[in-house]
Structure 1
Amino acid sequence: MDKYEIAVIGGGPAGIMAAIAASQNSSSVILLEKNPKLGRKLLMTGGGRCNITNSKPIKRLLNLYPQKNFLKHSFYTFTNENLLSYFENKGLAFVEEDNNRIFPESEKSSDILNILTYYLKDVIISYNFEVKSISDDFIINDEIKADKIIIATGGITYPRTGCDVKNYHLTSQPLTDIKYGLSPLITKKDLSNISGITLNDVVISYKKIKIQGNVLFSHEGLTGPGIIDLSNEISQSISYNLLENNNPDIDFEIFVDLCPNLTREDLQERFNGDFQIKGKTMIKNYLKLFLTNNFIDFFLNETDLDGETQLSRINKKTKNRLIDNLKRFSFEIAGFNSNLAKITIGGIDLTNVNPKTMESTLIPNLYFAGEILDLHGPTGGYNLKIAFSTGYLAGLSAGEK
């Protein structure tokens, strides 16, 4: 039986960084990866460009996470400057795009992975190694004995990358409910005829939750940054657990404010004046002032109004219906698009993990990092930030003698 000081389970960004940090103080580290290659999910992030982190100052960054108090120590231990220096020291430059998103200048996630792999030069990597069991005395699959173990196996999204619900049960560590995160939404109505259309900078609401951002129509429903971020809030507010049912019955409604810069009163006043002055204008042409052109026909069909109707022929009741739909256009949602959910919400209960070391408070010498923990953030580099910072802290802590 092979023996190591530290075994890291999972070759994603959290596991890789944990192994790198652990190897700084330990000469006996093994990284166990289920796939024939490392970083499968990492290569897919940011559309293959790798939105590696978000450049907001740490205090502002932390305020965007539900678990900011838990993340504080790891974020200050391994900052964005620390992270980017690993790559800049090897000649990789970065660019900042909208919303403080950081990408490699080469726009290749493979460049990120290649450099991370270089830093694993002192780590033994075992590929095609699926961890099926961990004994109480840290024997893995009856093959490997470790003094300390770091579990960084990720969540349940993108199963083809090696994610598996079984990973949650490798230890007796308590779990929170497991849910879909950063997920497109499947609509009850077929939207394929408007697939590809984007509504820019609208306000999407679910109950009392509101998020401003872009909405993109797809063949299966709604996506885009605004929808993706709202899905986190929706998912947390609904009672379900994917460990108990991987196809939950989910049914809810969301609303889109198509004119967020105008109040209902503003629209009412504007309609009252314009409908008199521009009475011969057809409603389909008039709505170009408020809506993107290729969305107007769909909008009119949903409001049951003929686009050829002149403004002067629209009565008060219809005018109010137009305002209602411009300010609160509804979509009935049939569920989350599980095939495209980017992250997992829920995981190892943070109550039983020390945020200053990432070590279990129930099982000494057992550490956790990344998405397997009950940690998540919005889209825009926030979740890779979690992976790298918690991974580094877990590896650093485990490597201490």
Structure 2
Amino acid sequence: MKEYDIAVIGGGPAGMMAAITAGRDSNVILLEKNSSLGRKLLLTGGGRCNITNNKPIKKLLNSFDNKNFLKHSFYTLTNENLLSFFEDNGLNFIEEDDNRIFPETEKSSDVLKILEDNLSDVVISYNYEVKSIKDNFIINDEIKADRIIIATGGVTYPQTGCSPDNYFLTSQPITDIKYGLVPLITKRDLSDIAGVTLYDVTVSYRKIKVKGNVLISHIGLTGPGIINLSNEISKDLTYNLLENEKVEFDERIAIDLCPDFTRDELKEKFTQDFQDKGKTMVKNYLKMFLTNSFIDFFLDEIDLDGQTQLSRINKKSKNRLIENLKNFTFEITSFNDRLAKVTIGGVALSGINPKTMESTSIPNLYFAGEILDLHGPTGGYNLKIAFSTGFLAGLSAGEKQF
């Protein structure tokens, strides 16, 4: 039986960062289910790898539900530390809108290569599926470790090696497991307007509002505004992917297509414009508010003839126009689960020490990354969780001496 100081289970961003950090002073083995590391990392940011979000750390933490739990790990591996690590290895970065950070090369493979290059002191076992961990930290009756770090990810993108079975490798309590950052499927067929983007709109679900772009697909809605709102919808629904896989529901979301105008401001503007531009057809007038390719669909949905001149629109139709510009609704029936980016839920944080990532009930057992009940919005937040919790877990396990 082979013996190691530390075994890291899972070769994603959290697992690789944990192994790199722990491997500086300890004998470490990294166990990876696939034939290569970082498969999900390669998919992030559309293959460009949105490595983190560069908001000031206090604002960054305020973007998470569990900011108090994340505080120590985020201050232990700050954005400055994280980016310096890669820059010292020859990779520079660019900052895009909403503080999103990407490698200058725009290739996630370059991020992965640096992580792999820094694993030179770590033994890596590929195509190794961990099926059991015994109480004395014997893995598959083949490997013994003094400490174990579990970084096996969530349940999304199963082709990358994620599996619900990973939650049951230990006796840690698990919360309900749900889809996160996931496109929505609409009841209405949207094939006729697939590809249309609604820019800087406000999307709402009950009392929750999110601002961002919305992209219309053949079967539903996606884009930053939608997938960030999807987290709130998913958390609100009662289901658990460890018990059932298909999630169906009947909910409505509303889109404020003119968030820069209040209803009263629109009413005032319409009153004036309908007088001054009375001969203008409504479909042409709406170009100042809506994407051209969305206008015909919008008018069909509210049953208003686009050829009608503004001067001929009655008060009832004008009010209907204003109401739908401010509150255009879609009926949602399910998630496009194949494209869920993250997992909501996981190992309960109540059983984890946030200053070390160590289990509070099983000494020398650590967790990092998406296996934990941690998630954030789109825009580099979730990779930040992976790298920071992975670093803290590796640092804590590596410093623990026997």
TM-score where L is the length of structure 1: 0.98
The correspondence of residues 64-83 of structure 1 with structure 2, limited to 5 A, is 64-83=63-82
Contact preservation (8 Å) 2:133, 2:169:
yes
2:3 aligns with 3
Equivalent residue for 2:385? 386
Q: What pairs with 1:114-263 in structure 2 (closer than 5 Å)? A: 114-263=113-262
Aligned Cα root-mean-square deviation (Å): 0.9
Structure 1 counterpart of 2:384, which letter?
Answer: K
Q: In the alignment, is residue 315 of structure 1 matched against residue 314 of structure 2? A: yes
2:28–2:123 CA contact under 8 A, matched in 1: yes
1:262 and 1:102 mapped to 2: Cα distance?
A: 31
SS of the equivalent of 2:147 reads strand
Deviation of 1:315 (Å): 1.2
Query: Which letter maps to 2:264?
Result: E
Tell me the distance in 2 between the aligned counterparts of 1:395 and 1:262.
50
> What is the CA distance between 1:309 and its match in structure 2?
1.3
Give the counterpart letter for 1:115 in structure 2.
I
Q: Give the deviation of 1:284 after TM superposition.
A: 0.7
**How many Å apart are 1:278 and its aligned residue?**
2.0
Deviation at 1:359, TM superposition (A): 0.3
SS for the counterpart of 2:329 is strand
User: Could you say which residue in structure 1 is the equivalent of 2:264?
Assistant: 265
Deviation of 1:312 after TM superposition, in Å, equals 2.0
1 CA distance for matches of 2:93 and 2:86? 9
AA at the equivalent of 1:236: K
1:241-281, Cα deviation, whole Å (9 max, x unpaired):
11111112222100000011111111111222222232221
In structure 2, what is the equivalent of residue 355 of structure 1?
354
| Unpaired stretches in structure 1, ≥5 consecutive residues | none
Match of 1:24 in 2: 24
User: 2:243 is matched by which residue type in structure 1?
Assistant: E
Q: Find the residue that maps to 2:249 and give its secondary structure.
A: coil
Question: Distance between the aligned counterparts of 2:147 and 2:289, measured in 1?
Answer: 60
Instruction: Indicate the SS of the match to 1:279.
Output: coil
Partner of 2:290: 291
> Cα deviation per residue 1:89-108 (whole Å; 9 max; x = unaligned)?
12111111111111111111
Q: Distance in 2 between matches of 1:115 and 1:281?
A: 59
Distance 2:176 2:211 in 1: 27
Measured in 1, the distance between the counterparts of 2:104 and 2:274 equals 51
Q: Which consecutive residues of structure 2, in runs of 5 or more, have no partner in the other structure?
A: none
Aligned partner of 1:32: which letter? L
8 Å CA contact 2:183–2:221 kept in 1: the answer is: yes
Identity of aligned residues (%): 74
Mapping 1:329-348, distance limit 5 Å:
329-348=328-347
Alignment of 1:85-104 (within 5 A): 85-104=84-103
Query: Is the contact between residue 8 and residue 15 of structure 2 (CA under 8 Å) also seen in structure 1?
Result: yes
